């Protein structure tokens, strides 16, 4: 598989939180359809980088270009619309709405985009199937295992057909078997659908699912490893 | 690793020839180093000498004559004892990576650069093993043996990460000694 086309390019990103320089000079490129792991010790700036790349936070310096547009300069309204249609996000936990059933959680982004309820549920069900959580439709997040909840979260991140999924420690709260199942489902589905994944993790076994690894240290890129030769 | 006991284990499934035992070993333990035929042969001879296995007969169906071995009762008892015995949770005392880091400090070369390169090689191997275990035709034995290797490489990597972060202190310590 070749992932030569850059989909998202960030140059010389810097971001300061209070007096902490979370990012100092991060240049990174995500190619279409690739799975890129961003690793680094805790506090190295991984989440801040993800927030800047996904347009959740604006960098203090540097540029983020997605499909020819400067995300860092896009007006709020255009930015949130683009995020809703082109990006999906998965966090370590907490992004499912506890009062809603699994299928309603997955269907929510479609409902918010104006898709009818029946159609939204149909598409949501198909994504739940791909993540192996068919049968959990009527359960609420509190009634699911951590691994099931993460697979439901991924179905929700993918339901709108994004080009990129940003995943911040998606297996951080799971045991190793559940983590393996979530990763296998995510990688398989993303490859099948040609979706690029920016995967943040401090777990080497999770990073080993990626095509490429970028390592952060003190807010800057320390090292980059291309695994592609292996395949 | 005790080749004797592994062969006794394979013989517990029924009498077999040396060549079949080698083939079955390599199939069952996909990530293990393949057994050399000579090693199988000498191990079988020692098992016979020690009364743990015996020759059941010979076959020569159209090919060269092959000796068929089977486990004895004593062999079965020895195998049962081994499978219940605790393997000492000994760390790998000969840590080549650590030795190289210390020598790099002594020689004033680049221990940090070495650790980065070693890290990349470890990650590369982990990625290959992950591809092996997630292939659609991977059976559980393949998955579990890949997992075993992955866990050990992961342990090395975690050790390398903490070592890389403490190189300054280590360098001061090595230089002072
Ligand atoms: N909202 C915030 N306010 C203050 N400091 C923050 C905030 N977010 C992150 N930081 C700090 O910035 C640095 C990088 O954090 P983060 O990007 O979360 O790293 P990572 O995800 O690699 O653990 C850390 O020192 C962290 O404490
Ligand atoms: Mg983080």
Cα–Cα distance measured from residue A226 to residue B144, given in angstroms and rounded to the nearest whole number: 26
Tell me what pLDDT residue B106 has: 78
pLDDT of A89 strictly over 90: yes
Distance from CA of B143 to the nearest CA of A (A): 11
Residue given tokens 């080698």 in the structure block: B22
pLDDT tens-digit readout, A30-49 = 999 999 999 998 899 999 99
Is the distance from CB of A224 to CB of A215 less than 8 angstroms? yes
Q: What is the largest CA-CA distance in chain A?
A: 50
Least confidently predicted of A10-19, A104-113, B81-90, B107-116: B81-90
Among the partner residues B123, B134, B165, nearest to A207 by beta-carbon distance: B123
For ligand 1, atom 4, name the residue with the nearest CA: A17
Tell me what pLDDT residue A229 has: 43
- The model's confidence at residue B109, banded by pLDDT at 50, 70 and 90, is confident
SS3 A38: strand
Closest by CA to A50, choosing from A203, A207, A177, A197, is A197
- The model's confidence at residue A227, banded by pLDDT at 50, 70 and 90, is low
pLDDT tens-digit readout, B14-29 = 999 999 999 988 888 8
For ligand 1, atom 13, name the residue with the nearest CA: A22
Tell me what pLDDT residue B1 has: 66
For ligand 1, atom 25, name the residue with the nearest CA: A43
Tell me what pLDDT residue B95 has: 76
Ligand 2 centre to CA of A83 (Å) is: 20
For residues A76-94, b (16+ Cβ closer than 10 Å) or e, as one string? eeebeebbeebbbbbbbbe
Under an 8 A CB cutoff, do B130 and A209 touch? yes
Under an 8 A CB cutoff, do A227 and B127 touch? yes
Is the distance from CB of B3 to CB of B79 less than 8 angstroms? no
- The model's confidence at residue A4, banded by pLDDT at 50, 70 and 90, is low
Copy the structure tokens of residue A165: 């999924």
Q: Is the CB of A46 under 6 A from ligand 1?
A: yes
Ligand 2 centre to CA of A51 (Å) is: 10
Please give the number of the atom of ligand 1 that sits closest to the Cα of A49: 17
Cα–Cα distance measured from residue B32 to residue B2, given in angstroms and rounded to the nearest whole number: 12
Distances (CA, A) of B162 to A43, A214, B98, B105, B112: 15, 18, 12, 16, 12
Answer CATH for B3-84 from 2.40.50.100, 1.10.10.10, 3.40.250.10, 3.30.70.890: 1.10.10.10
Cα–Cα distance measured from residue A170 to residue B89, given in angstroms and rounded to the nearest whole number: 32
Tell me what pLDDT residue A55 has: 95
Is the distance from CB of B75 to CB of B43 less than 8 angstroms? no
Ligand 2 centre to CA of A219 (Å) is: 12
Give residue limits of the domains in chain B: 3-84, 96-176
Q: Is the CB of A18 under 6 A from ligand 1?
A: yes
Tell me the mean pLDDT in the region B137-151: 92
**CA atoms within 13 Å, Cβ hemisphere of B128:** 11
Q: Is the CB of A51 under 6 A from ligand 1?
A: no
């Amino acid at each position: 598989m070749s992932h030569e086309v850059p989909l998202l390019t960030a140059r010389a990103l810097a971001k300061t939180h209070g007096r902490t320089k979370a990012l100092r000079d991060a240049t990174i490129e995500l190619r279409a359809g690739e799975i890129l792991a961003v690793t680094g010790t805790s506090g190295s700036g991984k989440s801040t980088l993800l927030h800047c790349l996904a347009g959740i936070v604006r960098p203090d310096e540097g540029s983020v270009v997605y499909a020819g547009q400067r995300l860092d300069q896009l007006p709020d309204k255009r930015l949130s619309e683009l995020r809703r249609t082109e990006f999906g996000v998965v966090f370590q936990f907490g992004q499912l709405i506890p009062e809603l059933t699994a299928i309603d959680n997955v269907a929510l982004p479609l409902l918010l985009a104006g898709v009818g309820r029946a159609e939204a549920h149909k598409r949501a069900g198909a994504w739940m199937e791909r993540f192996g959580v068919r049968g959990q439709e009527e359960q609420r997040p509190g009634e699911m295992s951590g691994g099931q909840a993460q697979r439901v979260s991924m179905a929700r991140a993918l339901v709108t057909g994004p080009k990129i999924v940003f995943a911040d420690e998606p297996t951080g709260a799971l045991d190793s078997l559940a983590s393996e199942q979530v990763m296998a489902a995510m990688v398989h589905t993303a490859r099948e659908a040609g979706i690029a994944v920016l995967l943040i993790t401090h777990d080497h076994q999770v990073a080993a699912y990626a095509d490429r690894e970028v390592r952060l240290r003190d807010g800057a890129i320390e090292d980059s490893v291309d695994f592609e030769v292996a395949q | 690793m005790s080749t004797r006991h592994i062969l006794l284990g394979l013989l517990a499934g029924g009498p077999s020839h040396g060549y079949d035992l080698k083939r079955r070993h390599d199939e069952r333990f996909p990530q293990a180093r393949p057994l050399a035929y000579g090693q199988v042969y000498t191990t079988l001879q020692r098992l016979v000498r020690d009364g743990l296995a015996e020759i059941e007969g010979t076959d020569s169906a159209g090919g060269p004559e092959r000796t068929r071995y089977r486990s004895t009762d004593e062999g079965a008892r020895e195998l049962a004892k081994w499978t219940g015995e605790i393997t000492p949770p000994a760390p790998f005392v000969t840590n080549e990576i650590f030795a190289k880091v210390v020598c790099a400090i002594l020689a004033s070369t680049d221990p940090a650069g070495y650790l980065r390169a070693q890290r990349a090689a470890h990650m590369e191997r982990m990625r290959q093993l992950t591809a092996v275990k997630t292939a659609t035709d991977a059976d559980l034995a393949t998955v579990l043996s890949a997992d075993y290797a992955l866990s050990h490489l992961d342990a090395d990597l975690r050790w390398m990460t903490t070592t890389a972060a403490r190189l300054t202190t280590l360098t001061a310590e090595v230089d002072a000694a």
